[in-house]
Amino acid sequence: MLRRNFLTLMAGTALVAVARPAFAELPKIQKKDTYKVGFAQTESNNPWRIAQTKSMQDEAAKRGWQLVYTDAAGSAAKQVADVNSMIAQGVDAIFLAPREEKPLIPAVMGAKKAGIPVILLDRNVDPSLAKPGEDYVTFIGSDFIEEGKRAAEWLTKTMNGKASIIQLEGTTGSSPANDRAKGFADYIKDHPDMKIVASQSGDFARDKGRQVAETLLQAHPEATAIYAHNDEMAIGAISALEAAGKNPGKDVIIVSIDGTRDALQAIIDGKMGATVECSPFFGPAAFDTLVKYAAGETIPPKIINTDRFFDAANAKENLASAY
């Protein structure tokens, strides 16, 4: 029996009706020497994304697999179209880094309907609308809630439990923005003098982060800390603080997430306090997982990366290997 739940979802500006064949099986993939696989990237406007793409391209080249690469340029609607084009090109499997949780559901379901397995990389889709082991093979990535918690823990300790915090959120509706906010909020709720005084999206982008930080700093001159959901926005916030005549790292303490070269340099320069690593190096794990899936091995619903933590104690020694 085929039960159909019709989901109406926003994909960019278009309303899309999706049939969810709840009991249809997860597509299988044949065991072969080489594959033609798709990698649907969300955007390429920051070092993290560029490092992730390079890791996927390097791994494909190493194994002699054909990689169909697309860049959605920050548009969920384009990313859905990119996945549809991969389906039309007859790829064996699709690696998808879904820009936002809900709008990419039609892409996951479309691939499933076409019999093409999907592996989610780094970002997740809404777990109430699509499930690992049923609609897609697995999610490979960091624990974003834990990242938010680690950032909050460091900041609470550094600020002796008292701070007026500006939060620069990532892309609205994306799993890292949702979960990094949650992990941070969950931790500071037990510390009543750690207060978020303002919170707004900087879309994970440096210049947007700078603009939003500028506005929020004007409205909240009492801010003593900034929590940015990624390093690019943290670097933007440093520029905003300097433009406002403040001393980043002294007047306002900054903590963020990723571990980029620019962030490590800012820590060495004393302008940033710490960054929780979120590794962009997915190539080996992504391709290995597909090979295991093709061999009939049981794949866990989530494969979580182990991430490091960078602060003044270790930024210098890790600078050369950063991206």
Q: Summarize as ranges the residues that interact with ligand AHR (CB under 6 A).
A: 46, 48-49, 122-123, 176, 204, 230, 232, 257-258, 278
Secondary element (H or E) of residue 55 = helix 47-63
**Residue (21 or 311) nearer to ligand AHR, CB:** 311
Q: How far is CA 253 from CA 74, 105, 223, 281, in A?
A: 29, 38, 9, 28
Measured from the CB atom, the residue of 53 and 164 that comes closer to ligand AHR is: 53
Closer residue to ligand AHR in complex, CB, 148/249: 148
At closest approach, how far in Å is the CB of 258 from ligand AHR? 5
Report the nearest approach of ligand AHR to the CB of residue 26 (Å): 24
Contacts of 295 by beta carbon, 8 Å cutoff, 6+ apart: 31
The strand ranges marked E within 87-224 are 93-96, 118-121, 138-141, 163-169, 194-201
Paired strand residues for 76: none
Smaller CB distance to ligand AHR: residue 199 or 224?
199
The least distance separating ligand AHR from the CB of residue 72, rounded to whole angstroms, comes to: 12
d(CA 183, CA 277): 15
Q: Considering the complex, state which of residue 29 and residue 315 has its C-beta at the smaller distance from ligand AHR.
A: 315
**How far apart are CB 211 and ligand AHR at their closest, in Å?**
17
Q: How far apart are CA 90 and CA 248, in angstroms?
A: 51
CB closer to ligand AHR, 59 vs 262: 262
Q: Which helix (H) or strand (E) holds 9?
A: strand 4-11
In angstroms, what is the minimal distance from the CB of 275 to ligand AHR? 10
Q: Which 3 state secondary structure label does DSSP give 26?
A: coil
Name the minimum Å distance from CB 46 to ligand AHR.
5
Please report how many Cα atoms fall inside a 13 Å half-sphere around the Cα of residue 213, on the Cβ side: 34
For residue 96, the cross-strand partners are 40, 120
